[in-house]
Chain A
Amino acid sequence: MMDFGFSLSKSSTMDLGKVDDLRFEQLCRLEPGAGICIGCGSCSASCPAGRLSGMSVRKVLLALQRGRSAGEMLQCCMLCGKCTMVCPRGINTRNLILSICKIYD
């Protein structure tokens, strides 16, 4: 590689090469709510799995949009539905979570 005396540092938040738009679109078809999250974090605040695995619906959606895996967070979700109860956007987060578990690894 040519050395120009400087280099591009890798983005720490987003790897565009790994973002899978098609899969996210598939997710939006299964649960349209995936596209309307405003990232308010109410779901994270109410989540009992948060302290076990860092689970947070908000973070899971961000991770998927940024091409990162969310499997580990999702593994502790107990489907208790509190996130659905508090979501100000009325997203059916349980269906969202189950849909993610169906189509993502």
Chain B
Amino acid sequence: MTERFATGFHPFVLPFLAGMAFVLAVCAVKAAVVVGQLDKADRKKWLLSLIHPNLIIKNAVDIVLDCLIHVKLWKRNRILGLMHSSIAFGWFMIILLGHLEVLVYFPGKLATFYYPIFFDYFVEGGQHTVISKAMDAFLLLVIAGIALAVVKRFWSRLFGMKRTARPTLFNLLGLYSLWAIFPLRLVAEQCARAGNLTVAPWWAYSIALCTFMAVLPFTRYLHIPAEMLLITMRNAGVGITRPHKGMARVQADSCPNCGVCIDACPMNADTANLKNSTVYLTRQLRRGNEPRVREISDKCMLCGKCTSVCQVGVDGPKLRILARAARKYRITPDFSRISSDGYDTYWASGKILYFSGCMSQLTPNIGRSVESILRKSGVRYEWMDRDGGLCCGRPLHTAGRLKEAAALRKKNEEIIRKSGAHTLLVSCPICYREFSESYDLGSTKVAFYSEYFRKMMDKGLFTLEKGDTCYVYHDPCELGRGCGIYDSPRALIGKAAAIAEAPKNRAESVCCGGSLGSLSLDFEHREKITRASLENLYASKADAIATACPLCLATFARYADRPVKDLAQIIDEQIIM
């Protein structure tokens, strides 16, 4: 193997070098800006994590698994995973092996940066080494991936995707230059190896590379460097604290617009909402299009499904809550008038304190059934909001009125701490999420009723008789995806009745459409969402629907063609005295 030219240079490498310098500079500036936007403590945490041996290994493993192999995408959609991983992994291997090749044979040329990229032009007979053969194989892999991408672009249904994100002009430029890079490389290499040293294909190859790198910072391809930063930040425990800035910005930049969240989003049962999916939120956040960010943020039901399917872990609901928090209001809630004086100190000492939540006042059966179960099992309890109480604060929290939510929580905290109860029993998942995530209740433990009842049943405090109704259990968003509770309601229903599963269940469950998360969805537009959610439950062929949330119950009851019951009602009906 010999070098063809003593100079080792040709002007066609210049576009590539310019593109490379540009993209590195822009990415460095962007990274510095977001790191500068982090809270001080977070920044310190992140910097320290970069030198922590365990975290270095974890970062490296995660980057390989997520950015190169796209493991999560494989799990979601195999063919999409195949496409992304063949392009990303193949390209990475070509770059890595290309540098290795230069390092082994012409170490002095490594500093030129362009030698590994245009190797076959500058070197004669380089194609016979093992490294070169491996690179050829990887190049074919990438081209196969690109072929899949072409198919997906025009016939996405073959990929099992009903809808994909509409690319913008810049994105199209990036897309087409990316597609062009690899076939051009193949042509240029084959020509050079056959002894034809015409520079036209090399120019084309270099210009395609340059175009791709020049548009990269302004397109979804920014996700390639951004996701690496995101992984290190996530592993360091950095959270989203400011709208549009710091971690929020990194998450928005890390979204490759794969579009998986579009089909997943329950709002899209109504096509009017298509452009409100998380993929469009990240896009508008990048563009700084405030009116659209506001609209998209207000529409979403915060059901969390987009996050559960997202391969890079974009936290759509959290981004939206913070965007909402940036709103200005002229009238601000003031809860200082509310006092906890009506509640005696230690009034629930040694007992459990039951909090049914304000929504349950519209579904009084839930509270009555919980009370009846507790009484039948001989558990001592007090009912905190039997005659109406305060809201848990979650609706204010999700509406982005964070300070006001905290003020309301404080009022509830006072009452609960003062009561001396050992456990706070909650039957509403919306309240439960707020209590378990945001409250500080001292020694009082928070328990969701399905978990608590299951423990009571296991201890033999009550026994259930199996009835002959068959229920399909609907996982409420706040309970399943929100708090990770999937099994205890099923265990209880399974003892009291036959149980069927809907096609989309557990983390895939479809929001009932009643969610308080959305600020701007109106009654009419919610109906389609509710009906789509019901269709999913009907597909289980069960005779009745079970759920564990007063809001799901009330929402389904409005349109369902079969009975809808709360978990507590089902248990109470089947308890053997």
Contacts and interface: CB of A to CB of B under 8 A. Distances in A.
Interface of A: 33, 46, 48, 51-53, 71, 74-82, 84-86, 90-92, 94-95, 98, 100-105
Given A46-B362, A79-B395, A53 B388 contact: no
Contacts of B327: 102
Nearest to B387: A51
Contacts of A85: 359, 362, 514, 551, 554
Interface string B317-331: 000000000011111
Nearest to B395: A79
Given A85-B362, A103-B330, A78 B395 contact: yes
Given A48-B358, A80-B359, A86-B362, A102 B329 contact: yes
A85 B515 CA distance: 11
B388 to A, nearest CB: 5
B393 interface: yes
Contacts of A98: 329, 399, 519
B6 interface: no
A44 B569 CA distance: 28
Contacts of B335: 76
B333 A77 contact: yes
A94 B399 contact: yes
21 contacts: A46-B362, A48-B361, A53-B337, A74-B333, A75-B332, A76-B333, A76-B334, A76-B337, A79-B395, A80-B358, A80-B359, A82-B361, A82-B362, A85-B359, A85-B362, A92-B520, A92-B523, A95-B520, A95-B522, A102-B328, A104-B330
A80 B330 contact: no
A88 to B, nearest CB: 10
Q: Is the interface of B mostly helix, strand, loop or mixed?
A: loop
B274 interface: no
B80 to A, nearest CB: 36
B78 to A, nearest CB: 40
A52 B396 CA distance: 17
**Residues of B in contact with A, size category:** 35 or more
A81 B388 contact: no
B121 to A, nearest CB: 63
B358 A101 contact: no
Contacts of B298: 95
B337 A52 contact: yes
B134 interface: no
Given A90-B522, A92-B520, A92-B521, A81 B337 contact: no
* Nearest 8 CB-CB pairings of A with B: A90-B523, A78-B391, A101-B331, A79-B395, A80-B391, A101-B329, A75-B334, A92-B522
Contacts of B522: 33, 90, 92, 95
A77 B283 CA distance: 34
Nearest to A94: B519
Given A76-B338, A101-B329, A82 B523 contact: no
Nearest to A92: B522
Interface in B342-391: 358-359, 361-362, 388-391
In terms of DSSP, what is the predominant structure of the interface of chain A?
A: helix
B534 interface: no
A23 to B, nearest CB: 11
Given A48-B388, A52-B338, A78 B393 contact: yes
B396 A78 contact: yes
Nearest to B336: A75
Contact of A78 (B329, B332, B408, B551): B408
Contacts of A48: 358, 361, 388-391
B320 to A, nearest CB: 14
Interface string B297-331: 01000000000000000000000000000011111
B402 to A, nearest CB: 12
Interface in B508-567: 514, 516, 519-524, 551, 554
Given A92-B522, A95-B520, A98-B519, A80 B395 contact: yes
B531 to A, nearest CB: 15
A105 B524 CA distance: 30
B519 A81 contact: no
B390 to A, nearest CB: 7
Given A74-B333, A104-B331, 5 more contacts: A46-B361, A48-B389, A77-B333, A78-B333, A81-B395
B401 interface: yes
Nearest to B324: A98
Contacts of A52: 337-338
B554 to A, nearest CB: 6
Nearest to A103: B330
Chain B CB within 10 A, most for which of A51, A90, A101, A103: A101
Contacts of B521: 92
Contacts of A82: 358-359, 361-362
A59 to B, nearest CB: 15
A100 B388 CA distance: 25
B388 A51 contact: yes
Highest count of chain B CB atoms <10 Å: which of A51, A82, A103 = A82
A17 B542 CA distance: 61
A82 B327 CA distance: 23
A67 B331 CA distance: 16
